[in-house]
Structures are given as C-alpha cells and as structure tokens.
Amino acid sequence: MKTYLFSSLAVASALALTACGGSSNNSSTSQGAGMTTVYEYQITVENLTAGQPFSPLAVVLHGSDQMLWQIGEPASDGIELMAESGDNSMLLSAVSGLPATAGTGIIMPGSSEMVMISTEDMSLMRLSATTMLVNTNDAFAGINAVDLSGLAANESMSWYLNTYDAGTEFNSETAESIPGPAGGGEGFSAIRDDVMNKISRHSGLVTQADDSMSALAPWHRFDSMVGKVTVTRMN
C-alpha cells in the first residue's frame, strides 16, 4: 500500500532542507573502507503556458511506497495550501528528513528554473515535483513518484507536466478567489467549498469568453500538459 507523504504534518519544521536539496554532498565520499555514491540530479522545469505563471517549485526524492497525491483521493492540507495560494511551505515541512528543495520564485510563461537535489540512499529514487498555476482557483501541475533508478550518470529523462484540480475550492474564477496577477484575491481558504473534495484531472478554464463573472482572459487557458521537466543525473 502506498502512503501519502503530505497527509500528515507531525513534523513541524524542515530542518533538513537546503537550497541544494537534502544532502550537502555532491560527489562520492569516503566512509571507512568503502565509498558512498551521492546521486545528484539537475531538475529543470519549463513553463509552456501562454498566461499561467507557476508558483515556486516543491521537489522531493522519496521511496517507491510513497506518493505526493492520488487522483480520486482528497488533497492533503499541504497540497490544498499550495494549489490554492502557491505556498509550498507546508508540503516541504512534511518531508523533513527526505531530500527536498524549493524553487527560488515564480516561473513565468516561456521561462524555466533549474534546481539541484541529491541523495545517498538508493531507496529514495522516486521524484515528485509540483507547482500551482497561479491564475486559477486550485489548479496544480506536477510529476508524481517517477522512477529515477535506471538513470545513468550524464543521462537525462523528460516528462510533460499534467494539470490537476485539487478539488478543494470551487472554480468560480472570480478575482477575489484567484491569487495570481489576473485576480489578486486571497488564494487560500481553509473552507473546502468544492463539492468534489478529491483530486482529478483539470477540465480547463471557462474565462471571460464564456462567463462574464470570470477574471480570466482566453490566454489564461491551458492544455493538459502545461510544462516540461527534464532530469539529468550529474554523476
């Protein structure tokens, strides 16, 4: 049975997090008579949308029995906060002790960001990464528990980012409910007013083209694959 990394916030702080992930090493290090290999990865995320900035990334390496989210299941509190407001702090606090890192800021349409993450533990070879589409109520994109164990040194793998509805906020598209530049609203609300209350593939935006109450323009719409992530093993 898979467990959900962010379903519990028993750990209150992310003392293990650094700007370069969960390990400060970036090469093989000596441990007694043996050598320990540090698996270091360069993660590049590209924003392929026309009008949806990405919130700061949350990236983590974890075990094969863990997942960041599950379609058809309610979002964790950390996913809810990130998907509604772009705040990844609760997600990252929940994974203290695992290799994890955060992006440095917003990724604008057509731009990209690169982060580094590393581990010495071969049981932590699943990568998850997520970000909010900030001109939405609770849409987020990401990759969930992809397997890096077969990636050799200097090899790369790429995936497109699918888009999900966190199912925690009604998709009203009003300015008061959207935190991005198209709205400037409050973003997060502890009240879950989406009757679904479960994660699903996002069905897309209505926008002003079909709803006069929407704060969103047609260029805020997006296809299912809104971004691309490329992972390169560095050593």
**What would the mean pLDDT of 154-172 be, rounded to a whole number?**
94
Strands 112-119 and 126-132: unpaired
pLDDT for 213 equals 74
- Here the tokens at position 168 are 């925690």
Find all residues with CB under 8 Å of 23, minimum gap 6, and list them: 38, 99, 118, 119, 120
Kindly report the average pLDDT of the chain as a whole number.
Answer: 84
pLDDT in tens, 222-232: 987 899 999 99
Q: H or E element: which one contains 90? A: helix 89-93
Cα gap 55→91, rounded to integer Å: 13
Q: Are 201 and 224 in contact (CB under 8 A)?
A: yes
pLDDT in tens, 20-63: 333 333 444 434 446 889 999 999 999 999 999 999 999 999 99
Q: pLDDT band for position 172 (50/70/90)? A: confident
What is the percent of the chain where pLDDT is above 70?
A: 79
Model pTM greater than 0.75? yes
Q: Which fold has domain 39-230?
A: Immunoglobulin-like (2.60.40)
CA dihedral 160, 198, 192, 91 (to 10 degrees): -50
